[in-house]
């Protein structure tokens, strides 16, 4: 296709996004020429096909055009003598007698100024005149259309104007390419564009060029379709995907196999194709880019993949706007864009997606109004557009969506009023509009007519007026109208017996608590706090509830005007009652309700783990846990060892408040939906997130009859595809779900699913390792810096070079004391063949313990040894340090003058191996890979964005600071340390939560450290300081520490907290200019100085 001097650039580039010419390789053929062109590949066939071509031209050209064609039919003999052509294509007489002729020429001269004027009319960007001249000069053929006008009786030409041009390049053999095809807009609609292309094709065929390609960009594909040409799906498929690839940035190299081959035959990553029996072509049906750490933008060429049914780019970092061309995908069923950085407005063209069923857009930056055109999406079932910046009025026209089930628009900037018309949606089950601003309007009374509604959540929407009577909704499970300005009394009619959650808190409700809240057998939470309710506290709400071991009921009546108890308040242990802030608590002793009047009486469910356990004792060495095998908890065969698949799921809008009583039901729902046996599913852990939403980690186990104790590839593929394509049946209790991760480890690490890559890529591992290093280094530097300051300011004992061989027991259950012989055998005598690393501290060895566990053993060299008590105290500290990016400490050894630490082994190789991957630059920005983390330490924004940044490490460090301050665990019995500390600070009770085992400290340092810790734990990452700011603030705190009393200098027999370490408690400083976190902290009462700590040692930095 290339001439000797190369293909000249396009005269008028059709891509208007920049000044460069970016043409794609889409093969388009006139519909009347398709069969001939498919076969014209050799010169020997040209003559026969030329005749067929001429017949098609004669029979099809301008068939329905009334304009007279006055050219003569050429003969075969004339074709064999190719020569330049110029003839009158069309002639017509105007009413005034003026004659206009449209003249075609296959070799006439083109004035570049006329050509530039034509490009301007067409609307294509200007090119320099020299570029136009060069393109014309290097073209094999230039065909033109001129309009020639003659006045009545005139013999000469009164006006000649260039109205059309097409040009072709050729290799002067058998191949030619037609590039630019331009027609003056004022002459379009007359068949001239098609005629121009057919004439230049004919002229090329006369020169024995039988393989002709018409190149077209996405913006003119529809133009050629309108001319009667049909695109070749093979060309569109390849080149549209190449255009998509050029717009994406693939730091993890997931799309490396997107080469110039057929994407369907070559199994391009993320591309799924199907065979169309009508045309015999493989068409792109699905694009799946879930969690591939892709950035860049979405290409408009996506709109050319007309057979696509699923577009999934969830949980990446893709930015830019949503291309309006996606609206061309009439076959699209699933549009999954959640968890990216998309911005701009929603294109009206998306309303053309007539077959769309699920639209997921959660967690982006989309702004602007909700298009009224969405009312045309008659097959839509799920709108998940929450957590964006969508603004304006909800179009009332959306009521005309007959199949809509879930309507999630919470956490946006919607305004206006709540449309009463939404009650006309016949199948709506979830209406979730929390955290918008409906400008003081009320809840439409017509919402009580939503007969299929399961969940109504309108929290914090600036709603006013009275609560409508919703008792006529038979299946209502979840009602949240909290944090509005609703007034009046609570309706007295009983709600659905299926309801689990009622939250009317933080309003302006008055009157008594009605009796209709009793006798609700599935109720889990009733929240009426922060209103103006009066009268008695009901004592019969829990009646008719058959509590199981895991079922709970929380009744929150705090901060009302309740004065008495109705009957005897003696609830079962499953019931938590909160009365703090009511007058009744002033008579707590008299009414015997003191246990209900404390702060946060009763706990909310935050996270949990499965109670699965085998009923018999199984030998650990019989199950290779190091290779991701484990005993199946509920296997019918005792001690069945198998390799599970780990899957992370997010329940977007569950209709429950407590998951534990529903774990069995969820297990049954998931296994039956996936055609598995009950024992094949284990619920590993779950954690509630804001929303509320529920993140669940489950494990799927292969069948017991499986001889390999693993899933085969086809079964893995089946499970992944069913979950990823939302093929599971909907469930009213658990609501819509979302796949977060599908983890392939151990024996599945090398499984490559078609067409997706599976397992954790090297790039992802590198990102996690580097992230781990950055976090570990940051924490180590802070701790090391503080102890260095102390060691520099005060004397401490020298570390002897040799340690006694006697061991000192450590009071830590999570680590084991190993003997030297045991570790020596595990490493074959610390053989060089087992060495996997070396650093300033010493060497690291891979060892296999007697039970088969693979570990990493860090052996200190002689110059790195420290005092034995310091070493053992350091082990105690490390055993308490948990972080998602830090490996766990398994044990230690202090025999034979050795100091060794034993960690869990990371099976993905050494850091050097991981870094031996080209082009890993950029993975430090953030890690977008689903990670395993100890509940309480993980950045809350991670659950929304699936990204770990430096600010995520700041949050985890803040949790550690709060632990040091309070002695509390991050999460214990449902209590979250951040929430507890915040509540205490707001109540002026900070002194009550300071660890009583802490030694004397500076009050000023205490306040500063408390503020620093809470700043680190802000929900929004933008509100947290950077790690550098944290270090600087700690340095500032260290500089104002008062000198210790002589008896406070630590000795070997008394490892205590110095005034410096116990005084790194920050409040406000010049670093934080946004104001004090709590005004109450300024008046913090003095805390006694008789407290002693024995847990924070002086550690020699390594």
Sequence-distant (≥ 6) Cβ neighbours of residue 882 within 8 angstroms: 888, 934, 937
What value does the mean pLDDT take over residues 753-780?
37
**What is the model's pLDDT at position 140?**
86
Give yes or no for a contact between 529 and 557, defined as CB atoms under 8 angstroms apart.
yes
Eight-class DSSP state of 929: S
| Interatomic CA distance for residues 1100 and 774, integer angstroms | 20
Give yes or no for a contact between 24 and 303, defined as CB atoms under 8 angstroms apart.
no
Residues known to be catalytic: 224
Give yes or no for a contact between 453 and 431, defined as CB atoms under 8 angstroms apart.
yes
Alpha helix ranges (H) inside 794-894: 820-826, 868-879
C-alpha separations of 751 from 711, 719, 760 in Å: 11, 14, 11
**What is the model's pLDDT at position 599?**
65
**What is the model's pLDDT at position 1068?**
28
Secondary structure string (H, E, C) spanning 758-820:
CCCCHHHHHHHHHHHHHHHHHHHHHHHHHHHHHHHHCCCCCCCCCCCCCCCCCCCCCCEECCH
Does 799 have pLDDT greater than 60?
no
Give yes or no for a contact between 318 and 297, defined as CB atoms under 8 angstroms apart.
yes
Exposed, middle or buried by CB within 10 Å (0-12, 13-18, 19+), for 1085?
Answer: exposed
Give the H or E element holding residue 160.
strand 159-170
Percentage of residues in the chain having pLDDT higher than 90: 32
Strands, E assignment, 867-991: 889-893, 900-904, 971-972, 975-976
pTM of the model: 0.54
Q: Does the annotation place 429 within a ligand binding site?
A: no
Per the model's pLDDT, the better-predicted residue between 5 and 146 turns out to be 146
pLDDT digits (tens, 9 = 90+) for 1003-1047: 778 888 888 999 999 988 889 998 888 888 888 887 777 655 443
pLDDT digits (tens, 9 = 90+) for 653-667: 999 999 999 999 999
pLDDT digits (tens, 9 = 90+) for 450-509: 999 999 999 999 999 999 999 999 999 999 999 999 999 999 999 999 999 999 999 999
The token pair that represents 221 in the structure block:
């594909």
Give yes or no for a contact between 204 and 173, defined as CB atoms under 8 angstroms apart.
no
Q: Which of 204-208, 534-538, 970-974, 1067-1071 has the lowest mean pLDDT?
A: 1067-1071
The count of C-alpha atoms lying within 13 angstroms of the C-alpha of 831, restricted to the half-sphere facing its C-beta, is 8
Per the model's pLDDT, the better-predicted residue between 169 and 227 turns out to be 169
Give the H or E element holding residue 245.
helix 233-247
pLDDT digits (tens, 9 = 90+) for 649-701: 999 899 999 999 999 999 999 999 999 999 999 998 888 888 788 999 999 99
Strand ranges of the sheet holding 737-743, from the earlier edge strand across to the other edge: 607-609, 681-689, 693-700, 645-651, 737-743
Does 31 have pLDDT greater than 60?
no
pLDDT digits (tens, 9 = 90+) for 617-629: 777 667 887 788 8
Give yes or no for a contact between 356 and 375, defined as CB atoms under 8 angstroms apart.
no
Give the closest residue to 162 by CA, choosing from 177, 179, 178, 142: 142
What value does the mean pLDDT take over residues 933-949?
69
Angle at 163 between CA 161 and CA 167, to 5 degrees: 120
**What is the model's pLDDT at position 1077?**
26
Give the H or E element holding residue 164.
strand 159-170
**What is the model's pLDDT at position 863?**
56
Where residue 60 falls among pLDDT bands split at 50, 70, 90? very low
Where residue 128 falls among pLDDT bands split at 50, 70, 90? confident
| Interatomic CA distance for residues 995 and 977, integer angstroms | 13
pLDDT digits (tens, 9 = 90+) for 1052-1076: 333 322 222 222 222 222 222 223 2
- Upstream peptide bond of 755 is cis (omega within 30 degrees of 0): yes
pLDDT digits (tens, 9 = 90+) for 186-198: 887 788 887 888 7
What value does the mean pLDDT take over residues 575-583?
93
The count of C-alpha atoms lying within 13 angstroms of the C-alpha of 229, restricted to the half-sphere facing its C-beta, is 26
Sequence-distant (≥ 6) Cβ neighbours of residue 672 within 8 angstroms: none
Q: Which of 137-141, 834-838, 901-905 has the lowest mean pLDDT?
A: 834-838
**What is the model's pLDDT at position 655?**
92
| Interatomic CA distance for residues 1075 and 1011, integer angstroms | 10
| Interatomic CA distance for residues 350 and 330, integer angstroms | 10
- Provide the residue count of the chain: 1102
pLDDT digits (tens, 9 = 90+) for 268-322: 889 988 887 776 678 899 999 988 999 999 999 999 898 999 999 999 999 999 9
| Interatomic CA distance for residues 92 and 101, integer angstroms | 7
Give yes or no for a contact between 370 and 348, defined as CB atoms under 8 angstroms apart.
no
Where residue 870 falls among pLDDT bands split at 50, 70, 90? low
Mean pLDDT (the chain) is: 75
**What is the model's pLDDT at position 778?**
43
| Interatomic CA distance for residues 1090 and 1000, integer angstroms | 7
Where residue 879 falls among pLDDT bands split at 50, 70, 90? low
| Interatomic CA distance for residues 385 and 363, integer angstroms | 8
Eight-class DSSP state of 218: H
What value does the mean pLDDT take over residues 65-82?
38
């Amino acid at each position: 296709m290339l001439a000797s001097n190369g293909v000249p650039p396009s005269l008028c580039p059709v891509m208007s996004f920049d000044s460069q010419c970016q043409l794609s390789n889409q093969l388009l053929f006139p519909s009347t020429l398709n069969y001939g062109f498919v076969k014209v590949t050799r010169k020997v066939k040209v003559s026969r096909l030329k005749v067929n071509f001429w017949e098609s031209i004669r029979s099809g050209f301008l068939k329905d055009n009334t304009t007279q064609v006055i050219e003569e039919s050429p003969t075969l003999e004339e074709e064999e003598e190719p020569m330049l052509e110029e003839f009158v294509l069309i002639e017509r007489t105007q009413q005034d007698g003026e004659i206009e002729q449209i003249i075609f020429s296959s070799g006439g001269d083109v004035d570049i100024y006329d050509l530039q004027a034509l490009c301007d009319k067409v609307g294509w960007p200007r090119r320099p005149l020299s570029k136009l001249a060069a393109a014309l000069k290097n073209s094999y053929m230039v065909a033109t259309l001129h309009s020639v006008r003659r006045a009545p009786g005139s013999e000469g030409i009164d006006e000649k104007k260039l109205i059309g041009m097409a040009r072709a390049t050729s290799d002067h053999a058998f191949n030619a390419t037609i590039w630019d095809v331009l027609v003056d807009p004022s002459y379009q609609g007359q068949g001239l564009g098609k005629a121009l292309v057919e004439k230049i094709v004919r002229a090329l065929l006369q020169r024995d060029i039988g393989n002709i390609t018409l190149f077209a960009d996405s913006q003119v594909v529809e133009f050629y379709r309108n001319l009667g040409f049909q695109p070749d799906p093979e060309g569109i498929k390849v080149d549209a995907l190449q255009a998509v690839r050029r717009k994406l940035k693939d730091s993890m190299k997931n799309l490396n196999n997107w080469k110039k081959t057929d994407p369907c035959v070559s199994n391009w990553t993320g591309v799924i194709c199907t065979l169309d029996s009508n045309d015999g072509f493989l068409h792109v049906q699905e694009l799946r880019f879930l969690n591939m750490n892709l950035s860049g933008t979405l290409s408009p060429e996506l709109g050319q993949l007309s057979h696509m049914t699923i577009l999934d780019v969830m949980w990446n970092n893709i930015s830019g706007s949503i291309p309006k061309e996606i609206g061309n995908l009439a076959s699209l069923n699933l549009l999954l864009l959640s968890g990216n950085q998309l911005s701009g407005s929603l294109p009206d063209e998306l309303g053309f997606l007539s077959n769309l069923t699920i639209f997921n857009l959660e967690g982006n930056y989309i702004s602007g109004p909700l298009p009224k055109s969405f009312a045309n999406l008659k097959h839509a079932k799920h709108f998940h557009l929450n957590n964006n910046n969508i603004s304006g009025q909800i179009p009332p026209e959306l009521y005309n969506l007959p199949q809509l089930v879930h309507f999630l628009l919470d956490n946006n900037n919607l305004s206006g009023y709540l449309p009463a018309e939404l009650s006309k949606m016949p199948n709506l089950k979830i209406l979730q509009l929390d955290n918008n601003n409906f400008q003081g309007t009320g809840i439409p009374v017509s919402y009580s007519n939503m007969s299929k509604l399961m969940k109504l959540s309108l929290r914090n929407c600036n709603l006013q007026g009275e609560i409508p009577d919703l008792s006529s909704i038979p299946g209502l499970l979840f009602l949240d109208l909290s944090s509005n300005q609703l007034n009046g009394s609570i309706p007295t009619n009983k709600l659905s017996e299926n309801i689990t959650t009622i939250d009317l808190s933080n309003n302006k409700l008055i009157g008594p608590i009605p009796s209709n809240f009793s006798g609700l057998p599935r109720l889990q939470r009733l929240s009426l706090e922060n209103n103006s309710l009066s009268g008695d506290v009901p004592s019969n709400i829990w009646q008719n509830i058959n509590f199981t071991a895991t079922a709970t009921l929380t009744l929150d009546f705090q901060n009302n005007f309740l004065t008495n108890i109705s009957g005897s308040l003696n609830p079962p242990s499953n019931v938590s009652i909160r009365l703090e802030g009511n007058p009744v608590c002033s008579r707590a002793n008299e009414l015997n309700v003191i246990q209900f009047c404390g702060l946060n009486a009763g706990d909310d469910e935050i996270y949990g783990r499965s109670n699965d356990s085998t009923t018999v004792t199984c030998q650990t060495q019989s199950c290779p846990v190091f290779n991701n095998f484990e005993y199946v908890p509920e296997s019918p065969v005792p001690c069945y060892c198998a390799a599970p698949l780990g899957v992370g799921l997010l329940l977007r809008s569950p209709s429950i408040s407590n998951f534990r009583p529903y774990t069995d039901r969820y297990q049954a729902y998931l296994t039956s939906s996936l055609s598995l046996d009950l024992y094949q599913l284990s619920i590993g852990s779950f954690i509630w997130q804001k929303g509320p939403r529920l993140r669940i980690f489950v494990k799927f186990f292969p069948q017991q009859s499986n001889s390999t104790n693993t899933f085969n590839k086809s079964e893995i593929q089946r499970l992944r595809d069913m979950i990823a394509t939302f093929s599971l049946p909907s469930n009213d209790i658990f609501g819509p779900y979302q796949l977060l991760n599908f983890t392939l480890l151990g024996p599945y690490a090398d499984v490559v699913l078609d067409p997706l890559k599976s397992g954790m890529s090297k790039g992802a591992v590198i990102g996690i390792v580097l992230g781990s290093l950055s976090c570990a280094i940051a924490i180590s530097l802070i701790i090391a810096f503080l102890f260095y300051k102390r060691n520099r300011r005060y004397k401490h004992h020298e570390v002897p070079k040799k340690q006694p061989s006697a061991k000192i027991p450590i009071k830590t259950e999570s680590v084991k004391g190993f003997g030297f012989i045991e570790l020596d055998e595990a490493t074959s005598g610390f053989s060089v063949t087992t060495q996997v690393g070396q650093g300033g501290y010493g060497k690291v060895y891979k060892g296999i313990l007697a039970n088969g566990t693979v570990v990493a053993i860090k052996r200190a060299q002689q110059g790195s040894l420290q005092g034995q008590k310091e070493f053992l105290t350091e082990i105690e500290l490390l055993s308490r340090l948990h972080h998602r990016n830090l490996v766990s400490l398994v044990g230690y050894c202090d025999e034979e003058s050795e100091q060794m630490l034993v960690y869990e082994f990371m099976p993905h190789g050494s850091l050097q191996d991981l870094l031996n991957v080209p082009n890993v630059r950029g993975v430090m920005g953030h890690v977008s890979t689903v990670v395993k983390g100890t509940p309480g330490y993980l950045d809350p924004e991670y659950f929304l964005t699936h990204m770990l940044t430096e600010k995520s490490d700041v949050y985890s460090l803040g949790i550690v600071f709060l632990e040091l301050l309070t002695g509390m665990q991050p999460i214990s019995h449902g209590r979250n340390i951040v929430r507890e500390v915040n509540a205490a600070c707001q109540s002026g009770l900070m002194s009550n939560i300071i660890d009583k085992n802490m030694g004397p400290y500076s009050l000023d340092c205490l306040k500063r450290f408390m503020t620093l810790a809470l700043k680190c734990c802000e929900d929004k990452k933008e509100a947290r300081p950077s790690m550098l700011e944290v270090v600087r603030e700690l340095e500032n705190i260290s500089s104002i520490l008062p000198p210790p009393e002589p008896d406070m200098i630590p000795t070997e027999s008394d490892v205590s907290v110095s005034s410096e370490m116990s005084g790194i408690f920050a409040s406000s400083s010049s670093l934080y200019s946004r104001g004090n976190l709590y005004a109450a902290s300024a008046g913090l009462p003095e805390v006694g100085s008789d407290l002693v700590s024995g847990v924070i040692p002086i550690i020699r930095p390594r």
